Amino acid sequence: MNTDKNVGRPISRLEGREKVTGAARYAAEHPLEGLLHGYVVSSPITKGKIVEIDTTEAMAIPGVVDILSHLNRPKLAWFDLQYTDMDAPPGTVFKPLYDENILYNGQPVALVVARDFETARYASTRIVLRYQQEPHQTCLEKHLDKARAPKKGLATALKPPPPPPTGDFENAFENAAVKVSATYHHGTEHHNPIELFATTTLYQGDGKLTIYDKTQGTINNQLFIANVFGLHYKDVRVLAPFVGGAFGSGLRPQYQLFLCVMAALHLKSHVRVVLDRKQMFSFSHRPPAVQQMHFATDINGKLTALGHNTLAETSNFEDYTEPTSNWSHKLYPAPNTLFEHKVVPLDVYTPMDMRAPGGSTALHAIECTMDELAYKLKIDPLELRLLNYSDVDPSAGKPYTSKALRECYLEAAAKFGWDKRIAEPRSMQRGNKLVGYGMATGIWDAFQFPSRVQIMINSEGKMVVDNATTDIGTGTLTVMTQIAADELGLEMADVEFRYGDSKKPFSMFQGGSAITSSTGVAIVVAARSMRKKLLKKAAEMEGSPFRKAKEEEVVFSSGHIHLKNDPTVKISLKDIIAFNKGAAIKTTKMGRPHMLKLRKYSLATHSASFVEVEVDRDLGTITLTRAVTAVAAGKIINPKTAKSQILGSMVWGISKALHEESIMDPQLGKYINANLGEYHIPVHADIGELEVIFADEKDSLINELGTKGVGEIGLVGMPAAISNAIYHATGKRIYKLPIHFDELI
């Protein structure tokens, strides 16, 4: 890297104007001549078989083109393997319209295709479906006795099971000086990005398809479609130039993609399928969980035993797990540990990663248990964390590549005014309001995936960077443009980052807060190769002053190569390309994590959240007045988009703590608040003053950029900090999320 001209600057997102003016086209917004519209018919029963589908009346409605179901669908791939995807958990993948079996409520059972959306939707209400119902089980809390160990599979690599026991947990806990046992209950959450899941398939004939899809992984979905429909992967192009939020729900191909492509191939026509909001509750979600916590300390507050047992929902066809019981020992040393994770298979769709999967569930239980210990020990909750602070990862016995959590604690505490806390619960008041202070720690993975990038310098001396990643609203386009511009010493205006296209070089799906490090590092690696190529070409020019120049003796800036010791000696990239007979110079390189070197280390981002709440003493109403979150996530490429990520996830933390829950009716076996009127997320009036601090964390080990990713870390600590603040305000510890205000009166 030559300069940090753009990296580190708070640059507004480059596509922001397109998005706020409506010029950006999302998956359901691409106009096509002769487009047909599909509407999904969803199962009203939870378990059983379809006995009859009578489409007579629906087919007679003018404008209806076809109604596809398991009875008349085209022949499909048969092997499960062909339906699998990069994020599929172990088990048997769900195959839409495959047969008469109903596995969960809301399962797609037919697709109505019509000339317009309204006709398709209306016709869906005129189909008569008859079912044979079977008893179902959908409620985690009622079926905890079914808990069993999860199956292992490919996805286990990113989601390791908890580490094996250490020491003698049972004995240590039994005889500990101070201990807390508690059981935490979490409800189901659905991702609910504002953009509805949608696919527009452009039918090109000759087995070729161009697909605008809402996804976090263009290549993941390209391969899925090619496998399922027996097409050559090169004939399937998946585009996702804009994604209106996804939060994990787009990590796997969703059923509207399958149904849309199936209809397009069957009808030899362009087809669009858009789910409605209710159908957004008919696939993946964050699983409900029960967590049993057993933490103990010695008389001075040093942790001696950590026990964390998680029981979480999964479907009856796939074993979804998220790392939950794994986290406490990554933060706190303790000689005796026992961690378990079990799944409870139910008649629901398979859960799926949702922003900070596992971490946000686990850290709530862990950090509330730590808070409870602090009150028992009469130690300040922050003090207790510092007392048990570790620079190494106790669960792996390895040092972190970097860990500025201490700085997070201290900077956030100072900014928040933690020293003004009066320890006793219910001791701080404002009028009718009880005031509470709470804090909690956050930790999240620092992933890096292999990623391939092509860099091209075109005839104008401008840089074009290609990678298949999406930008799910995180600022990827902007951040990659910043990195690329600095690598070749160009203005950002002279760099074009092309993405959201499965035809571009390989990227994994955009998840796990990994893409800045993954694609970013690939750009650094490819740029290194490009600088070599350009210098070599420059050296070939007649009378070139760069003939003998070595790489380290030149600098790339302002669209030129300069000699370091005499910057007036320079040549423009444009002239180099002209010398190359106007032909663009290209290079394609893979960036990948340095597995060998990193094997000796643990990798994580950290955070500390401090929260103030007011709780009405008579009415219980909860107001989050302010929160401060400090984050240690290595180098911050763009402080503005990074801050937006943290702010957004802090709001999510408020939502998780106080609002968000999909209510499962166990009798009906379905979510009954499946709309944004009743599935509550916070409104502006629910959000107090939020502040974000980025701790200075230099990490020369982790990757070429020193980055760790900020998509999830801001969420992890917030729910516990809020719960702890509510305890401090009221003296009531609520062992569940979300917390409802009536539980406080």
Partner 1 sequence: MNSFKFLTAPDVPAAIQLTDDQPLAAFIAGGTNLLDLWKYNLVNPTALIDISQLATLSALRELENGGFRLGAAVKNADTAYHPIIESRYPLLSKAILAGASAQIRNMASNGGNLLQRTRCYYFYDHQVPCNKRVPGSGCPAREGYNRMHAILGASEACIAVFPSDMCVALAALEARINVTGIDGERSLAFSDFHRLPGERPELDNNLKPGELITSIDLPEKGFPLNYSYLKLRDRHSYAFALVSVATALEMDGHTIKEARIALGGVAHKPWRSLEAEEFLRGKTACRENFAAAADIILEGAVGLEYNRFKIKLAKNAIIRNGMMALDPDAQLPGAQPSL
Q: Which residues bind partner 1 (CB under 8 A)?
A: 44, 118, 121-122, 125, 431-432, 616, 618-621, 623, 658-659, 663, 665, 667-668, 670, 672-675, 677-678, 680, 682-686, 740-743, 745
Establish how many alpha carbons lie within 13 A of residue 356's alpha carbon, considering only the half-sphere containing its beta carbon.
33
Compute the distance between CA of residue 97 and CA of residue 362 in angstroms, rounded to an integer: 36
Which lies closer to partner 1 via its Cβ, residue 187 or residue 357? 187
Which lies closer to partner 1 via its Cβ, residue 364 or residue 670? 670
How far apart are CB 620 and partner 1 at their closest, in Å? 7
Query: How does DSSP assign 74-140, residue by residue?
Result: PP----GGGG--TTPPSB----TTSSSEE-STT-EEEEEEESSHHHHHHHHTT-EEEEEE------G
How far apart are CB 239 and partner 1 at their closest, in Å? 29
Residues facing 440 on adjacent strands: 609
Which lies closer to partner 1 via its Cβ, residue 126 or residue 498? 126
Closest C-alpha among 594, 609, 444, 603 to residue 511? 444
Token output for 284: 């993946």
How far apart are CB 112 and partner 1 at their closest, in Å? 13
Instruction: Report the alpha-carbon angle 320-244-506, nearest 5.
Output: 65
Sign of the torsion formed by the C-alpha atoms of 30, 34, 37 and 38: negative
How far apart are CB 65 and partner 1 at their closest, in Å? 17
Which lies closer to partner 1 via its Cβ, residue 117 or residue 212? 117
Which lies closer to partner 1 via its Cβ, residue 29 or residue 665? 665
Compute the distance between CA of residue 561 and CA of residue 573 in angstroms, rounded to an integer: 7
Which lies closer to partner 1 via its Cβ, residue 632 or residue 674? 674
Which lies closer to partner 1 via its Cβ, residue 52 or residue 460? 52
Cβ-proximal residues to 62 (8 Å cutoff; 6+ apart), any chain: 119
How far apart are CB 287 and partner 1 at their closest, in Å? 19
The reply to whether omega before 164 is within 30° of 0 (cis) is no
Residues facing 188 on adjacent strands: 662
How far apart are CB 665 and partner 1 at their closest, in Å? 5
Residue type, 15: E
Which lies closer to partner 1 via its Cβ, residue 116 or residue 491? 116
Neighbours of 145 (CB within 10 A): 6
The residue behind tokens 């999967």 is 357
Which lies closer to partner 1 via its Cβ, residue 529 or residue 675? 675
How far apart are CB 129 and partner 1 at their closest, in Å? 10
How far apart are CB 623 and partner 1 at their closest, in Å? 7
Provide long-range contacts, Cβ within 8 A and 24+ apart, for 568-575. Answer: 569/545, 571/538, 571/541, 571/544, 571/545, 571/546, 572/461, 573/457, 573/461, 573/488, 573/490, 573/534, 574/459, 574/460, 574/461, 575/461, 575/541
How far apart are CB 664 and partner 1 at their closest, in Å? 9
How far apart are CB 66 and partner 1 at their closest, in Å? 20
Which lies closer to partner 1 via its Cβ, residue 389 or residue 735? 735
Which lies closer to partner 1 via its Cβ, residue 149 or residue 672? 672
Which lies closer to partner 1 via its Cβ, residue 7 or residue 109? 109
Backbone angles phi and psi of 620, in degrees to 5: 80, -10
Contact 273, 196 (CB under 8 A): no
Cβ-proximal residues to 240 (8 Å cutoff; 6+ apart), any chain: 27, 212, 213, 214, 215, 218, 470, 500, 501
Cβ-proximal residues to 547 (8 Å cutoff; 6+ apart), any chain: 539
Which lies closer to partner 1 via its Cβ, residue 293 or residue 729? 729
Contact 509, 351 (CB under 8 A): no
How far apart are CB 278 and partner 1 at their closest, in Å? 8
How far apart are CB 144 and partner 1 at their closest, in Å? 20
How far apart are CB 197 and partner 1 at their closest, in Å? 18
Q: Give helix 718-730 / helix 639-658 axis angle, nearest 10°.
A: 50
Tell me the H-state helices in 22-92: 56-59
Residues facing 132 on adjacent strands: 49
